[in-house]
Structure formats: C-alpha cells, structure tokens
Chains A and B, each alone.
Chain A
C-alpha cells in the first residue's frame, strides 16, 4: 500500500495488526512519535492524519492507506518551528516524552486561527505531561499563536 508521511511517499505492506505508531517508529524509523499508554489516554502518539489529530497507537496502519500523515519530524524539518522555539524559550518541556504529541495537538489548533486560552486547554486535554504542570506549555502555545497572529 501507499502511505504519505511528511510529504514523502512510502510503499509498505504491513500485516493487519500493525499499528500506525509501530509502522512509523520501527519500519520508517520516525521515532519522534512516542508510544505511551496504548489506550488513547496519554496522547504521546498523536499524529496528524489529513490534518486532524489522531492517536497512532489506536490506528491500524493499513487503514491510513492513501492518506496524509504528519509526524513531529515533518513539522518543520531542519529548524525549529515557531511553536517549538516557544516551548524551548518558556521552559515548556522537561523530559520531552510528551512534547511531540503536544506539538501535534497544538498545531491542529493553530491551523484554525488564533485560539483563546480555553481553546488551548481543550486542544491539549488529551495529552498528558508529567513534568511541567502544563502552565508553561499553555504559555508557549499562547505565545506562538500571538507571534503567528502578528506576523
């Protein structure tokens, strides 16, 4: 089957039970997407499928055939995006395990315009962070949104 990941096309033939997260990490070596809870509660495995956030640990790889997948590696290849820079500057990451999922979830929000604080809280409500206490992550997304809006 054909799979488009980060604007590159791959020809793959995963078995039926292969999960998208495993295909990304083990077959395509895109290890930025993290595997956490395996039941959709932590959000570490979040990727964009046709622009919408989706848990790659709850998605069979075969079912994304022909669709557009964006992982953290495809967000801003070779340099930090505005949001990534903002996370670094505000201290919005510590161990970093949740960060790829957090960024993908926030990107899905930022694509829709300038969000309110409630919008941000809602957008990352399915993503666990066990280090930062969330405040700095929210602050970083707000800051990135403001910079994006003022650009």
Chain B
C-alpha cells in the first residue's frame, strides 16, 4: 500500500459533495477518474485524509453532444469515440484521442483533465527523488529548480482538453458554496501565472459541466510529444474559426503545455474579426503567437524546439483551413488532426 490511509466518500448528489468538501475543508480532494489524483497521493504530492469520489453523481455524467453539454465525469473515451462529437466538435474529439492510451481514457474524465495538476520535471517525482533534490517551490522546498532564484512556480498546464474547448469558446458550470454559476472556461485558470495553482476554483467548488454552443466552427488540435500514449503535451495548440459572408466572426487560438495555464490568444486574434481569413492574417498571427510563447526547461524537450513546433503547427493548421475554404467555399466544414 503506497498511499497514506484516507477516508473515501461516495456522495450521490452535487449538494452532498459540496457539503462534504466544506466539512473537511483543507483536508480533502475530489476524485474523478483517479488518473491524476491517485499518482499524486502515492508520490506524497497531496496529503489529504478525505477523498470525495464523484462517479456516483448522475448529473456529472450528462453527455449531450447535440446540445453541447458534457458533464465533468464524461470519460475521455466517450469524447473520443462519439460520432456526434467527432463531427460537431472535431478538436475536442482529437484532443481526447491524443490523451494517453485507451485504458487510461476509459477512466480519465473531462473535468479531471481540465483541472489536472500542473507538471514539472522537478515535481512529478517520487518523494525519495524530491527529498534528494531538496524539493522545489511547488512541493517540499523553497526554491525553484528550473528558474534560478525564480519567485514563482513554472509548472506547466498539461491537460489536453482546455485548448480545444477554449478555442471553441466553452463555458463551464460551477457549483460552489454560494450556488451554481456559469462562466467562461478561461476563468477556471489562475490569472496570476503561478504553477503552484493548477486552477482558480475556490476550495470546495465543483466543476459540474462544460458547455459548447456553436457546432459550426472549424476547429483543429495539434499536440507535440516525444512518445505517443504516455506523454503529456510538450506544447499543443487549438484553433476555432468561423466566417460569415467571407468575414471572420469567430477566431480563437489556445495553447497548452507551454505556460502555467492554457494561453488564450484573444488579443492577437480579436483585431482580425470582421476581416476575411487570408495569408496576411496567417503570417501576422503566427508571428504574434510565437512572441507570446516562453517555455522554460521543465519538460523533456528543448524549449526552443517546443516553441518552434507549436508555431509550425499553427501555421500548418491555418494553412489547411485556408486551403479547405478556397476549395469548398464554405465556412462550416469541420476538420482537424493530431500533430
């Protein structure tokens, strides 16, 4: 037995789960599929005496791709395989497919992937390894091992699902102590840029569902990793585009695996709304996005390479959109791929 003893709670409703979280505040974690929380417990990255299992709550299992509503307990395997998701939300399906191997995707959930703990070479290690290295800012230590004298933690957001959902303009339903709230997915992540916080949910608040409104967006998701199934993204990029009468009315780009939170490039894409997608837009966007990427050496691949490949993905995917549009003269045909 590798984990310290804990008590497992299995609430049957969201209200019960939130009440349990309040009762054991400071000593509790929600458990969804377990593929991130359990290894964290084994490694001593989290030490809590209460786990609240969310799998018995029917509302969290809502799966309605026609209305674009996905409960937080939706498995990655469902998102990957469902034909409606594949057709209407291409990037979501591609990202789910790109996460780990089939057995992990059976257990892993949408909510768990969105709230996955930030990762770093110096953090995701055994207790023994970390102690030998005197810890780091995120666990057991006082100094960052990646950026000398760094005052913040640079651990990377390493989920696959946030970039495509951000690119498609998703919103999330949150249940907190004050009741139910709906907000843009961006608000789920800490604006402070410190990797010690994986998300900006207040303690005890529960992610209930993700909502996607527009099924007619063209979308893509591309992911860099050294190996296939076992690797988290070393850099990933998702794009969501729609044009009406030849002018952009939706253009969003989100990047994962580079910074402490998924980066949404709205300040780069917003000025192009109302204009047609063109080679000029592609060039300017690729250059601007490249300037926003500042990976640090806390994953397996070299920082310059990660930045280079992510911008290359962006250029290739935008070019594919342009080629498709000129061929079909339609703005609503979805397409995408995993890089």
Contact = CB atoms under 8 A, between A and B. Distances in A.
Interface of A: 15-19, 22, 38-43, 46, 49, 52-55, 58-60, 62-63, 105, 108, 122-123, 125-128
Interface string B97-137: 00011111011000000000000000000000000000000
5 contacts: A16-B6, A18-B1, A40-B35, A60-B31, A62-B8
A59 B1 contact: no
Given A17-B5, A55-B107, A122 B34 contact: no
Contact of A108 (B1, B39, B102, B107): B102
Contact of A60 (B2, B34, B101): B34
Contacts of B230: 41-42, 126, 128
A11 to B, nearest CB: 19
A128 B100 CA distance: 13
Contacts of B3: 17
A54 B6 contact: no
B100 A126 contact: yes
B103 A38 contact: no
Interface in B216-242: 228-230
Given A40-B104, A58-B39, A105-B102, A63 B55 contact: yes
B7 interface: yes
Nearest to B31: A60
Interface string B49-60: 001010100000
Given A17-B1, A63-B55, A125 B38 contact: no
Contacts of B5: 15-17
A41 B231 CA distance: 8
B323 to A, nearest CB: 25
Given A58-B104, A127-B101, 11 more contacts: A16-B6, A17-B4, A38-B39, A42-B230, A49-B106, A58-B39, A63-B8, A108-B102, A125-B102, A125-B229, A126-B100
B98 to A, nearest CB: 11
Given A53-B103, A60-B34, A63-B53, A126 B1 contact: no
B221 to A, nearest CB: 17
Interface string B1-22: 1111111100000000000000
Contacts of A123: 102
B101 A54 contact: no
A58 B102 CA distance: 14
B228 A125 contact: yes
A40 B55 contact: no
Contacts of A125: 101-102, 228-229
A22 to B, nearest CB: 7
Given A126-B100, A126-B229, A53 B6 contact: no
Given A38-B39, A38-B42, A122 B102 contact: yes
A15 B2 CA distance: 13
A54 B107 contact: yes
A107 B104 CA distance: 16
Nearest to B55: A63
Nearest to A18: B1
A42 B42 CA distance: 16
